[in-house]
Structure 1
Amino acid sequence: MQTSDRIENAMKRALDVAQAGQPPAQLSAALRYAILPGGARIRPTILLSVATACGDDRPELSAAAAAALELIHCASLVHDDLPCFDDADIRRGKPSVHRTFSEPLAVLTGDSLIMLAFETLAHAGKGDPSGNDAARAAQLVLSLSRRSGMPGGICAGQGWESEESIDLHAYHMSKTAALFIAATEMGAISAGHDPEPWRDLGALIGEAFQVADDLRDALLDDAALGKPAGQDDLHHRPNAVARLGVTGATERLSDILAGAIASIPSCPGEAALAQMVRRQAQAIMPVLPQHNRA
């Protein structure tokens, strides 16, 4: 089965759990709206690619981990779009959740997706009578919670935007890199490997995507992005383009991606994983217009 099919099937299974019984109709619809159809599913793709490179001996567990990670990502997008944060009208080319269903339902949607992510991991941990899945599931919960909350998860990344003085590295590591670190760590954990050697790969991929996002935000329009453009300038956020200029940020992006490939730990699927990183790089590089602005 293709990676994309594994991810979508796992997402739909998780959604079925959330919609069992007699849930509130509007909230149930909002959950579906927030996760289907999905975006590029980059984070769960990385997770499953790492798991595959490490042997992927428990494919049901790794698929559940991929779904849990993407549910947290979707929750963060719903919350990011709220008026108290970005006040964004568009997400993934369609009206944001709070514009379609109301602000209260958007808050509840994000909260519900967070809870569903951890419930998904808990259910996955019950599958193996030997207890190996339960032990791995506990590690998965720890990795995902660390990269979602405080002190260095995506909640911290949002929190940095309320500080008068911002540590740009800590901000980017929390805001964007955290879930990419979770992806590489959780992929290794799912396959029974030590997550620590995989942290640098996730951090570098996350940094690359943050720089690419800064460039897209500065150079593309709403239609090309599928969400409001120019948000960094509008909200006075620190970003790579403001610090390095377009040319410098583009060069920095290339350097980070080369470092990411070099950081891949030795594993049976090392070559295939390097190809996956290159494909992801190709997916983000062509969207950067050839400007000569500094």
Structure 2
Amino acid sequence: MQIAARIEGALERAVAQAQGPGAPPLLASALQYAVFPAGHRIRPQLCLAVAQACGDPDPIASDAAAVAIELMHCASLVHDDLPCFDNADLRRGKASVHVEFGEPLAVLTGDALIVHAFATLGALARQNPSRMATLIGIIAESVGAPHGIVAGQAWECEVAVPLSDYQRAKTGALFVAATTAGAAAAGHDAAQWRTLGEKLGEAYQVADDLRDVLCDAEELGKPIGQDAMRLRPNAAAELGVGGAKVHLEGLVRAAVASIPECPGAVELRALIQAQTTLFFPKQLARVAA
């Protein structure tokens, strides 16, 4: 089965469980709205790609890890768009959850997605409790304090915001979760896959910083210029567009080079090299290094 179809099927089953009999109808609708239709699904695709490179002997575990990571990501987008944070009206080309369903229900939708991510992993308890415990630890670290996406959001409340710490937590944490959880779900040493997640996470954030400067809202499907307006760190602003482009290219090379030896290492290196080209805004073709 193609990875994309596998992810969508697993997500549909997971969300359907959260929408079970007795669920408040508006919450059930908001959960569906927050997760579908698909975004790029970069993080769960990365998780399954690593699991497959490691042989993917336990697809139930790797599916659960990929679903948990994407539910966490969707939750972070719902909360990030709230009026108390970015106050963004647009996400993935449609009205953000709080615009469509109201602010209170958006808060609850994000909360429900976070809890359901752990519930998805908890379902592994009967068949492989040790693997479940490892995956829960990986996901929890990527979400909470001191270095998860919650910490990344919290950096926006500080007066001084270090670019590297902010990006490592806000964006990189879930990329690290994707690579390490994919390896752990396949029974491999998760620690060896951390660098790949760190480099890809930073690369994606630098690319996002460039898109915030170079693209328009219609192209991105979300508001632009948020970093400048809210005085947040931005690689393109700090390094210049040309400097950020060079940095992005170096991060992609480092990511590919960091892939450990495994049964599917050659194929994964080719896949990462190909997929990361999608990070680059098309406008960069006109920018000199």
Query: Which bracket does the TM-score occupy, shorter chain normalised?
Result: over 0.9
Aligned residue-pair number:
289
TM-superposed CA distance for 1:124, in Å, is 2.6
1:102-160 per-residue CA deviation (whole Å, 9 max, x = no partner) reads 0000000000000000000001332x2xxxx2111111000000000100000111111
Aligned alpha-carbon RMSD (Å): 1.2
Tell me the equivalent position of 1:84: 84
Match of 1:288, SS state, is helix
- CA distance in structure 2 between the aligned counterparts of 1:287 and 1:42, rounded to whole angstroms: 18
Tell me by how many angstroms 1:194 deviates.
Answer: 1.1
Per-residue CA deviations over 1:157-215 (Å, capped at 9, x if unaligned) read: 11111111222111110010000000001001100111101000000000000000000
- 1:20-64 Cα offsets, whole Å, 9 max, x none, are 111111111000000011201000000000000111100111011
Residues 1:99 and 2:94 aligned together: no
2:117 matched to 1:125? no
Q: Secondary structure at the match of 2:224?
A: coil
Equivalent in the alignment of 2:201: 206
Amino acid at match of 1:72: M
For the 8 Å contact 2:53–2:263, the answer to whether it is kept is yes
Deviation of 1:290 after TM superposition, in Å, equals: 3.9
1:124 is paired with a residue whose SS is coil
Question: 8 Å contact 2:207–2:281 — kept in the other structure?
Answer: no
Normalization by structure 1: what TM-score?
A: 0.96
Matching residue of 2:136: 141
Matching residue of 2:42: 42
- Rounded Cα–Cα distance in structure 1 between residues aligned with 2:78 and 2:235: 24
Q: In structure 2, what is the equivalent of residue 53 of structure 1?
A: 53
The offset of 1:7, in angstroms, is: 0.4
Percent identity over the alignment is 53
Listed as ranges, the gaps of 5+ residues in structure 1 are none
Task: Say whether the 8 Å CA contact 1:246–1:291 is kept in structure 2.
Answer: no
Counterpart among 229, 243, 246 of residue 248 in structure 1: 243
Report if aligned partners of 2:11, 2:67 keep a CA contact under 8 Å in 1: yes
In structure 1, give the amino acid aligned to 2:211. Answer: R
Write the distance in 2 (CA, Å) between the matches of 1:205 and 1:283. Answer: 12
Unaligned runs of 5+ in 2: none
| Offset, 1:228 | 0.3
**2:213 is matched with which residue?**
218
- On the 8 A contact 1:61/1:125 being kept in 2, the answer is no
Provide the C-alpha distance between the structure 2 equivalents of 1:30 and 1:287, rounded to a whole number of angstroms. 33
1:237 and 2:235 aligned: no
